[in-house]
Amino acid sequence: MVNPIKSKLSPGLYLIATPIGTARDITLRALDILASADVLAAEDTRSLRKLMDIHGVALNDRPVLAYHDHNGDRVRPRIIEALAAGKSVVYASEAGTPMVADPGFDLGRAVVEAGLPLISAPGPSAVITALTLAGLPTDQFHFAGFLPNTKSRRKSALSALAQVPGTLVFYESPKRVAAMLKDASDVLGGARQAVVARELTKKFEEVMRGTLADLAETCAARSLKGEVVVLIGRGDSSTISDADVESHLVEALETLSVRDAADQVSADSGMKRRQVYQLALKLEAGK
């Protein structure tokens, strides 16, 4: 155990990240802030107290406010008032980094709008942890949070991400992960490399790697438990988007000649023009 340093904090809202599994992933700075802030606020006050207990940080008689999506409008003014009165307030979401698919955004914005100090003490987040383990490119990535629950809305959301030139990262419920992978395979192409990262930093941590088609099959055959991040490698437009190219061509052929449709879809998709032209001829012949 480390002894947090209790020193007077300057006034401001301190956003701290908390562990996504292993309790010792808390940072020393987050512990110092928890030990010193005048007011504590958390998405889940019980989890925060437990974390403080584990690390030997005394609460003493400091107030602990619950701040989450359902009471933000009511509690935000109290926090702003405390900050305006020169107090230091620490905020933690239930696990990981506030605002990353978690509450805190409205609070941070209100603090900025009020011209009060906003301080971030960085630490764990499942998106970054999963990216570092996945073995997929990290030079560019797109965090898409949770996809919609219904199949049709999920497929539309995936289709809007098809051309993102980087690794896609999603948070997903273990109950829906097989269906999500199947939809992703249908929409983005089964050959794309993907990773399912489960229970990160915990006892049953597991990282599954494979193509979207393989992972969809593997996950459908298992009943997954715990917390899950799904990552999908960047598309290679020359190989992965055959289905997409075909549907674009069908649409283009409604108004354009074969030649013009092939020009347009080849430019949009990056697929070789000759290949697109051959496909357009086939589609036109089958009309």
Residues of the shown chain interacting with ligand SAM in the complex, contacts defined by CB under 6 A: 20-21, 93, 95-97, 100-102, 125-127, 171-172, 197-202, 227-229
Cβ proximity to ligand SAM, 43 vs 244, nearer residue: 43
- DSSP reduced 3-state for 20: coil
Cβ proximity to ligand SAM, 154 vs 198, nearer residue: 198
Minimum distance of ligand SAM from residue 92's CB (angstroms): 10
CA distance 283 to 257: 12
CA distance 231 to 160: 16
Cβ proximity to ligand SAM, 206 vs 260, nearer residue: 206
Minimum distance of ligand SAM from residue 33's CB (angstroms): 17
Cβ proximity to ligand SAM, 36 vs 93, nearer residue: 93
The beta strands (E) that lie in the chain are given as 12-16, 39-42, 64-66, 88-92, 118-121, 141-146, 167-172, 193-198, 206-211, 228-232
Dihedral in degrees, nearest 10, Cα atoms 191, 134, 43, 51: 150
Minimum distance of ligand SAM from residue 270's CB (angstroms): 31
255: how many CB neighbours lie within 10 A of its CB? 8
- Closest-by-Cβ residue to ligand SAM is 96
CA distance 50 to 29: 18
Minimum distance of ligand SAM from residue 55's CB (angstroms): 19
Cβ proximity to ligand SAM, 171 vs 277, nearer residue: 171
Q: H or E element: which one contains 109?
A: helix 105-113
Minimum distance of ligand SAM from residue 201's CB (angstroms): 6
